[in-house]
Structure 1
Amino acid sequence: MTLSLAARRSALSRFTDGHELDVLVVGGGVVGCGAALDAVTRGLSTGLIEARDYASGTSSRSSKLIHGGLRYLEMLDFGLVHEALQERRLLLTTIAPHLVRPVPFMYPLQKPAWERFYVGSGIALYDGLAFGVKSSGEVPRHKHLSKKAALALMPSLRPDALTGAIQYHDAQVDDARFTLELARTAAAHGAHVANRVAMTGFLRADASDPQSSVIGVTARDQMTGEEFTVRARRVICATGVWTGEVQSMLGGDIAPLKVRASKGIHLVVPRDRIDSQTGVILRTEKSVLFIIPWDEHWIIGTTDTDWTLDLAHPAATSADIDYLLSTVNRVLVTPLSRDDIDGVYAGLRPLISGDESDATTKLSREHVVAAPVAGVVLVAGGKYTTYRVMAKDAVDLALGISAKKDRKDRDKDRDREVEKAAGPPSSATDTVPLSGAVGWEWLSERYQMLARASGLPEDAVEYLLSRYGTLTRELLALIDARPELGEPLPGGEEHLKVEVVYAAASEGALFLTDILARRTRISIEARDRGFEAAPHAAALVAPILGWDDAEVARQIDIYNRRVEAEMSSQTMPDDASAQSERAKAPDAAI
């Protein structure tokens, strides 16, 4: 199932045909797409609408890690860590082995022997909470390193920055691509999904009673401006930092969830700027900082500060960048400068807040589901790694299945027995692979065969497999029909022309920004942030998306002005001035 223009039109037709859906999900981030997949694989008629693009908010701007949260052990939140590590195992072995892969990290030790015991005990517990006898696709156990061994792994580390180290493994993911595949997999199972469709309000059983049950939503097609209604027995709102706006639409005093937005920024620097075979985790005064291997780059992050301005376009400030550079430079032999930065991105975490005085670093990464009005479920909080549990809990509540009070009671088999006895269908997403994962183990070992058949270099095929999994065969079929699509996209780093065409034809991209910022990584990895690639990409997708010359020029202008505004905002000293600069760029939507 592709997310083509025709598929989008079909979904819109289903929304407006007068029939009632079992479940409508509002929000196309990782939790919303996960909820759509959860609902449809229970046999429920399911729809999903997203006001902008899939993963356009938090779900494309994370640290791109699948992890248990090592620092949460210090908060004694063992349940959260255990749950996240179990989800990590599922993602590595069953759900998305083509997109989620182990990544090594080193924790430098700086204090006397007691620190090795303290940190080593914590990391040993971290491994233990994963419950894992190591099997194919799972992560290796931790190991202790001498100072000499640690410096051999990372020559760029200052010798005076450590006395030794401990190495452990977590996992990483292309967050935007993973979210997109969730949406596509949900569609393959029968869900009706459409991006650029905004919810504008709720439908009530009694329009005169603001407390009456919700029976659907009012919506607007952002591409045409058309207003319409979608009827649904249950509406699940997975809107992250926009949860407050959704609660306002419900009216009255209904606001069971208090969500605070925490800004996190990341720097992207070329791989050759840091000589290391491993990632690094550093303790800071407020939290931790990661140096994360990312193909031909490193991702350095993150910050954790309150954000009260535009939720759609958080902006990184000069102070944010300086903080990350100064923190990482404390341990590097050759300091990084602004000239070493290829990309900067900023995202917002939706944190559940109980006290405005609490620092965002101290707020829980737990999630909450609530049903403030009959027919509506809200889900917020949590972390990327546990999206599936959040989605399951939201659908469970929508169906009237009670959530367990204690995480230890979420025994899978017991849940299913209880749910079966209660009547509603149970969640099966722990056994549902994403589209690109089906047949992955067999195909990934035969990349040479694909290379010979396609005429592409083996490394190009390996690259495609790492991003598209078994869906790579669809891209190779496009190259077979048009061999020029196997060429690199000018200015597009390692991306091929076929990826741009595939994004528009099969992955729901409707604007040039969708392609350069989320279907590919060009906007954060290319030194020029995609200025060179933009006209080439626009020309490739124009026939697919029906753009004439004027629209091609408009799309390029919108993208370029977005990049200019972001780069300008990154020279500003504070959030207010940075946001003012970022706001000068137009949105992609018509």
Structure 2
Amino acid sequence: MTASALSPDARDVALQQLDAASGYELDVLVVGGGIVGAGVALDAVTRGLTTGLIEQRDLASGTSSRSSKLIHGGLRYLEMMDFALVKEALHERGLLLTRLAPHLVRPVPFLYPLTRRVWERPYVGAGLALYDAMAKFGALAENGGDMGLPRHRHLSRKAVARIAPDFKASKLAGAIQYYDAQVDDARLVMTVARTAAAHGAQIATRTACIGFIREGERVVGVRAFDLEKDVAFEIRARVVVNAAGVWTDEIQELVGGRGSLHVKASKGIHLVVPRDRIRSESGFIVRTEKSVLFVIPWGRHWIIGTTDTPWDLDRAHPAASRADIDYILDHVNEILREPLDHDDVEGVYAGLRPLLSGESEPTSRISREHTVVTPVPGLVMIAGGKLTTYRVMAKDAVDAASHSLRSGGSAVIRDSITDRVPLLGAEGYETRANQRVMLARRAGLHVARIDHLLNRYGGRIDDVLELIAKHRLLAQPVPGAEDYLDAEVVYAVTHEGARHLDDVLVRRTRISIEMFDRGVAAAPHVARLMGERLGWDAERLATEVDHYLRRVEAERESQRMPTDQEADEARVRLPDLY
């Protein structure tokens, strides 16, 4: 394995390998660089299949960077009696917490408030007891019963007031505290992709699929377009896996519309507010008339969401309207002693869930289960699902691809092993966490900084500290975004495939939603650090900064608009930068 698998030169190397002109044919080509596509690439390459992945923009640039950032079983689905989905999700939660990504996925407590004195506590308590039991049962089969999380507990109204003094407790009969887990979703995608690349997968971002290559009925590759160099080329592959999420229908059209997947986009928006605006040691979950409202601890911030509404406008840049923001504020203020207003909001982001649908039911009621189909030989399509179960989705997609490979005369394809393949950074994480004080002294950093780095890089913290040891100035905080170090910006370029200013400010870090100015003050400095490693001249540097500033203004303008249509029109005025 190579630790720097997504270095600046890696994309050029990958494109050379992928180009059919080189005489190279893949076993599996993945279209889509979200969590499912990255998971498929990792599953395929660790089965011994030659694997490539192309993504039109950046890794996790769509849905997979704009979720609630939860790894959870889904209490809502338990109430819907979807026990199989909950069991599967809880199993995956346990794997991520204890084996695959303990450095990225961590426990988060939630309060489930009780407002009815007689029947609600036994009803909700029974549901949470089942939730814990299903998690425990899955953990017994994997690792001796370690769920990685505490069990739920019942709380009185006084106990709720101690834990969450800003929670409006006057009408409460108490609460039940339970645990789920959270993750930086974009960071998870990047780490899965980087792990796949370290095992030999070829990863190429800013590369679009513009058509399929056919031999008779069979798909034998794709026509691709390098958006950075404006060059079209072909990629030959024995099986193509479409993991394009909300763009599934568009990709399906490129193969003649043949397929049975129909994906609805459901918009969910989230607000980010400073942690000191709500005094609480725990997150909480509250029912709304349409869904549930999560208030989720996020470092020095809270994430509050979400909505669940149909979206049929621009899918690359879904926009949050003022009506969306007011909806979230109105509902969270119903449970807070001190109400929040627009001035408290640091960041806003909107994402689209790809929901399988062939009917006219509301998006809030469509199942999050996934489906895999093979509409024509050589093409596998997967859609639906949720962040937590990405590994199962990937396994199912590669299983379907294996059938196609075997029908083409391949030798036996090995079973999936990704339940036993730790993600990059998992190895050595516990050791380095135990050595946090020693690492802080050696690097000349505060222990809190080391904790921050451990929770982002795990055992690969050594790479970041090595950068600092060689260039002491990289130990400085990013001006205007002091939660992050200059070294993290450089590392995003040298190890994590960042190629544009957006990539760092929006996805490799969360500066764009964690600062009141949305990263405007940090942008010039971050661009200079990136440009030194990517060879940007003064014109390119100015272009990157200008594009980011205009992105921020377009998003702010869209969030002042009263309707989806007007918000979309404001946001799409700014095209992507390639």
Q: TM-score range by the shorter chain?
A: over 0.9
Number of equivalenced pairs: 563
Shift of 1:135: 5.6
Pick the aligned partner of 2:284 from 280, 284, 288: 280
Contact 2:30 2:52 in 1 (8 A): yes
Shift of 1:144: 0.6
Please state if 1:544 is matched with 2:533.
yes
Please state if 1:529 is matched with 2:518.
yes
Paired with 2:203 and 2:354, the residues of 1 have a C-alpha distance of: 23
Please state if 1:88 is matched with 2:98.
no
Shift of 1:586: 2.8
Please state if 1:246 is matched with 2:256.
no
Paired with 1:359 and 1:43, the residues of 2 have a C-alpha distance of: 42
Q: Which amino acid aligns with 2:353?
A: R
Please state if 1:107 is matched with 2:107.
no
Aligned equivalent of 1:177: 187
Pick the aligned partner of 1:218 from 204, 216, 223: 223
Alignment of 1:33-182 (within 5 A): 33-130=38-135, 131=137, 132=139, 138-182=148-192
Aligned equivalent of 1:407: none
Please identify, of 491-500 and 310-319, the stretch whose mean Cα deviation from structure 2 is larger.
Answer: 491-500
Alignment of 1:431-446 (within 5 A): 431-446=420-435
Please state if 1:369 is matched with 2:379.
no
Paired with 2:441 and 2:223, the residues of 1 have a C-alpha distance of: 52
Please state if 1:201 is matched with 2:200.
no
Shift of 1:458: 1.4
Paired with 1:401 and 1:232, the residues of 2 have a C-alpha distance of: 12
The CA deviation string for residues 479-500 of structure 1, in whole angstroms up to 9 with x for no partner, is 1111010000001140111111
Aligned equivalent of 2:438: 449
Q: Which amino acid aligns with 2:436?
A: Y
Paired with 2:459 and 2:204, the residues of 1 have a C-alpha distance of: 24
The CA deviation string for residues 211-265 of structure 1, in whole angstroms up to 9 with x for no partner, is x1000001011111111000000000100000000110011x5131010000000
Q: Which amino acid aligns with 1:7?
A: A
Shift of 1:588: 1.8
SS at match of 2:285: strand
Alignment of 1:1-16 (within 5 A): 1=2, 2=4, 3-16=6-19
Q: Which amino acid aligns with 1:452?
A: R
Alignment of 1:559-570 (within 5 A): 559-570=548-559
Paired with 1:521 and 1:137, the residues of 2 have a C-alpha distance of: 29
The CA deviation string for residues 307-360 of structure 1, in whole angstroms up to 9 with x for no partner, is 00000000000000000000000010000011100000000000001212x111
Q: Which amino acid aligns with 2:291?
A: S
Shift of 1:137: 6.7
Paired with 1:59 and 1:122, the residues of 2 have a C-alpha distance of: 29
SS at match of 1:586: coil
Contact 1:161 1:331 in 2 (8 A): no
Q: Which amino acid aligns with 1:473?
A: D
Please state if 1:349 is matched with 2:349.
no
The CA deviation string for residues 512-540 of structure 1, in whole angstroms up to 9 with x for no partner, is 00110000000000110000000000111
Alignment of 1:470-549 (within 5 A): 470-549=459-538
Contact 1:97 1:137 in 2 (8 A): no
SS at match of 1:436: coil
Q: Which amino acid aligns with 1:505?
A: T
Aligned equivalent of 1:460: 449
Contact 1:493 1:525 in 2 (8 A): no
Paired with 1:424 and 1:530, the residues of 2 have a C-alpha distance of: 47
The CA deviation string for residues 259-311 of structure 1, in whole angstroms up to 9 with x for no partner, is 00000000000000000000000011111000000000000000000000000
Q: Which amino acid aligns with 2:151?
A: R
Shift of 1:423: 3.0
Pick the aligned partner of 1:186 from 196, 211, 214: 196
Pick the aligned partner of 2:395 from 392, 414, 423: 392
Please identify, of 436-445 and 519-528, the stretch whose mean Cα deviation from structure 2 is larger.
Answer: 436-445
The CA deviation string for residues 178-207 of structure 1, in whole angstroms up to 9 with x for no partner, is 10000100001011111111111101114x
Q: Which amino acid aligns with 1:397?
A: A
Paired with 2:166 and 2:145, the residues of 1 have a C-alpha distance of: 32
SS at match of 1:159: coil
Q: Which amino acid aligns with 1:261?
A: A
Deviating 4+ runs (over 6 angstroms)? none
Please state if 1:380 is matched with 2:383.
yes
Paired with 2:57 and 2:97, the residues of 1 have a C-alpha distance of: 29
Contact 2:93 2:388 in 1 (8 A): yes
Paired with 1:171 and 1:534, the residues of 2 have a C-alpha distance of: 31
The CA deviation string for residues 450-482 of structure 1, in whole angstroms up to 9 with x for no partner, is 112211121111111111111111111111111
Please identify, of 381-390 and 13-22, the stretch whose mean Cα deviation from structure 2 is larger.
Answer: 13-22
Pick the aligned partner of 1:256 from 257, 260, 264: 260
TM-score (norm 2): 0.96
The CA deviation string for residues 148-205 of structure 1, in whole angstroms up to 9 with x for no partner, is 1111110001122411100000000010001000010000101111111111110111
Q: Which amino acid aligns with 1:76?
A: M
Paired with 2:177 and 2:495, the residues of 1 have a C-alpha distance of: 40
Contact 2:440 2:446 in 1 (8 A): yes
Shift of 1:112: 2.2
SS at match of 1:119: helix
Q: Which amino acid aligns with 1:59?
A: S
Aligned equivalent of 2:322: 318
Contact 1:80 1:366 in 2 (8 A): yes
Please identify, of 498-507 and 277-286, the stretch whose mean Cα deviation from structure 2 is larger.
Answer: 498-507
Please state if 1:269 is matched with 2:269.
no
Distance 1:248 1:401, change over 3 A: closer
TM-score (norm 1): 0.94
SS at match of 2:253: helix
Q: Which ranges in structure 2 are unaligned for 5 or more consecutive residues?
A: 406-410
SS at match of 2:499: coil
Paired with 2:375 and 2:404, the residues of 1 have a C-alpha distance of: 16
Q: Which amino acid aligns with 1:283?
A: R
Contact 1:269 1:299 in 2 (8 A): yes
Q: Which amino acid aligns with 1:248?
A: E
Aligned equivalent of 1:405: none
The CA deviation string for residues 44-101 of structure 1, in whole angstroms up to 9 with x for no partner, is 1000111100000000000000000001111100000000000000000111000000
Shift of 1:136: 5.5
Contact 1:236 1:377 in 2 (8 A): yes
Paired with 2:474 and 2:234, the residues of 1 have a C-alpha distance of: 40
Contact 2:259 2:373 in 1 (8 A): no
Contact 1:106 1:281 in 2 (8 A): yes
SS at match of 2:469: helix
Contact 1:351 1:363 in 2 (8 A): yes
Contact 2:160 2:169 in 1 (8 A): no
Paired with 1:557 and 1:255, the residues of 2 have a C-alpha distance of: 42
Aligned equivalent of 1:419: none
Paired with 1:454 and 1:159, the residues of 2 have a C-alpha distance of: 46
Paired with 1:542 and 1:161, the residues of 2 have a C-alpha distance of: 56
Contact 1:50 1:195 in 2 (8 A): yes
Aligned equivalent of 1:424: 413
Contact 1:493 1:526 in 2 (8 A): no
Shift of 1:501: 0.8
Distance 1:316 1:442, change over 3 A: same
